[in-house]
Amino acid sequence: MFENVQPAPPDPILGLTEAFKADTNPDKINLGVGVYKDANGTTPVLESVKAAEKTLLETEKTKAYLPIDGSPAYSDAIKALLFPASSPVVAEGRAVTLHAPSGTGALRVAGEYLASNHPESRIWMSTPTWPNHAPIFTAAGVAQEAYPYYDAQGQKLDIDAMLAALDGVKAGDVVLLHGCCHNPSGVDPTPEQWVAIADKLAEKKAVALLDFAYQGFGSGIDEDSVGLHTLAEKLPELIVCTSYSKNFSLYNERIGALTFVAPSADAAKAVLSQVKTVIRRMYSNPPAHGAGIVTTILNDASLRARWEVELAAMRERIQSMRSKLATGLDQRSVQLSATGNGFLTTQRGMFSFSGLNKDHVQKLRAEYAIYIVGSGRINVAGITDNNVDRLCDAIAAVTKN
C-alpha cells in the first residue's frame, strides 16, 4: 500500500530549517523558525536551566510514570506564573493546569477535548495566524472560522473589523487569541482593546482560547499577561495553551501546559477528568524532564531571579536587532511601508511582519541564501551584528528590482 503514496509538501516553517541545513552557502542566514539566537548566532542552554538540571540529576530518585496530567508541583508553579496569588480564579479552585508536550501539544489536546465534549463549538482564528493552528484543529475535527486582525496598510490591529466579525460568534464557540507577541504579525491589542475583546466575548458567551507561547518576550512576564488577566476577570471560561520553548529556551524538551478556567471548582474538576481521558488515548502521560526544570527554576528564588535576567536579555537583544534592522534599511533608503520602517521597532516579540512579498522572499532565498517564512515573517532573533548588513543589502537589492 505504500508504493502509491505521494510526498507531502514541506512544512512552511520547519521545512525551511531543513532547506537551510542543506544550503552550502557559508553566508546563509536562517530567519525562519522562531528559535532565539544570541549575538553569536547560537541557541545556548540558559544558565538557570543548567543549574536546575544539575539539581535534578542529583536529587532524581525515579523514572516512574508521571500522572496523566503531569506533576502537581508543575501545575501549581505554572498557575502561579499565569495568575497573581490574589486571582479569584486560583483562590476559588476554578483553574486546572495540565502538563502538555509544549504549545503544539497543548493546542492539540484542547482541540481533541473540544471535539469530544463540545462538538457544536467552532474555533475562530485571526487572519493571519500561526500556520499550524488550522491543521491542528482540522486534525482534531473542530470546525473553523476566521476573523480579521491585521491591517497591513497601517501595520496595526484592525480592532473595528475584528469586533464586527466576532458578532458572528455563537454561544459556546471558541475564539483563539494570541496572549502576546502575535505570531506572525507582532501586533498585540492595547490594554483597552483587550477590554473591548473580552467584553465582546462575554456578550457572545464565547470561550477564549489563549495561545500564550511568548510570555516575557514582549515587555515582561507580568506586562505580557494583561490580555490573560483581562479575559480571566471578565469571562467565566478560558482555555490557555502555554509553551516554555521560548522563554526558558527549552525547545527540544517539548514542555508546555494546558490550563482550563471553569465557572466553578466542580466544573473545573470535571473538565480535568475529561481532558485526562483525551491524554490517555493520545500519549498516556507526559515526559518529565522539561517540567522538572521549569518547576525547579520557578520554585527557587535565586534560580528564578537568574532566569528573569536571562529572559530580559533575550527580549532586549531582539529589541536592539529590530532597531538595527530598521536603521540599516533607512540607511539604504529602503522603506518597507508607506510610513517608513518604524513599525519594525514597535512590533513585539520574536517576529517582524516585514511586508516583504512572496517574490522578495523567493529571491532572498534563491539569490542570497536568506530564509524567511513565505508570509514575509522574519525571526528577528536570528539577526546578529555579523549578519545585519548583509541582510539589509539583500533586502535593498530584492525590493529595488
Task: Please give the C-alpha separations between residue 309 and each of 42, 47, 289, 293, 385, in angstroms, as whole numbers.
Answer: 18, 10, 23, 17, 22
Task: Provide, rounded to whole angstroms, the least separation between the CB of residue 35 and ligand LMR.
Answer: 7
Instruction: With CB under 6 A as the rule, give the number of residues binding ligand LMR.
Output: 6
C-beta of 207 vs 380, nearer to ligand LMR: 380
Distance of closest approach, residue 33 Cβ to ligand LMR, in angstroms: 4
Please, which of residues 263-302 interact with ligand LMR by CB under 6 A? none
Report, in Å, the least distance between residue 13 CB and ligand LMR.
4
33 forms part of the interface with ligand LMR (CB under 6 A): yes
Contact 262, 88 (CB under 8 A): no
C-alpha–C-alpha distance, residues 359 and 361, integer Å: 5
By beta carbon distance, the residue nearest ligand LMR is: 34
Closer residue to ligand LMR, CB minimum distance, 105 or 328: 105
For residue 337, the minimal CB distance to ligand LMR (Å) is 22
Residue 27 to residue 20: CA distance in whole angstroms? 11
Tell whether residue 314 is a contact of ligand LMR (CB under 6 A): no
Q: Tell me the closest approach of the beta carbon of residue 130 to ligand LMR, in angstroms.
A: 5
Does 130 interact with ligand LMR (rule: CB under 6 A)?
A: yes
Pick 87 or 126: Cβ nearer ligand LMR: 126
- Residue 224 half-sphere exposure toward CB, CA atoms < 13 A: 28
* From candidates 20, 34, 255, 294, binder to ligand LMR by CB under 6 A: 34
In whole angstroms, the minimum distance from the beta carbon of 32 to ligand LMR comes to 7
- Note the residue count of the chain: 401
Q: For residues 218 and 229, which CB has a smaller minimum distance to ligand LMR in the complex?
A: 218
C-alpha cell at 198: 473580552
| Cβ proximity of 222 and 141 under 8 Å | no
107 contacts ligand LMR (rule: CB under 6 A): no
The Cα 380–Cα 352 span in angstroms is 6
Structure-block grid coordinates of residue 347: 512590533
Of the pair 31, 46, the CB lying nearest ligand LMR is at 31
Binding to ligand LMR (CB under 6 A) within 8-27 occurs at 13
Rounded CA-CA distance 273/267 in Å is 10
Rounded CA-CA distance 401/301 in Å is 55
List, in order, residues 6 or more apart from 325 with CB less than 8 Å away: 341, 344, 352, 378, 380, 383, 388, 391, 392
Sign (positive or negative) of CA dihedral 32, 347, 42, 365? positive
132 near ligand LMR, judged by CB under 6 A: yes
Which residues are annotated as catalytic?
130, 211, 246
Taking the least distance from each CB to ligand LMR, the nearer of 113 and 130 is: 130
Out of 183, 296, 352, 387, the only residue in the binding site for ligand LMR (CB under 6 A) is 183
d(CA 350, CA 69): 30
Cis peptide before 287 (omega within 30 of 0): no
* Residues at the contact surface with ligand LMR, assessed by CB under 6 A: 13, 33-34, 130, 132, 183
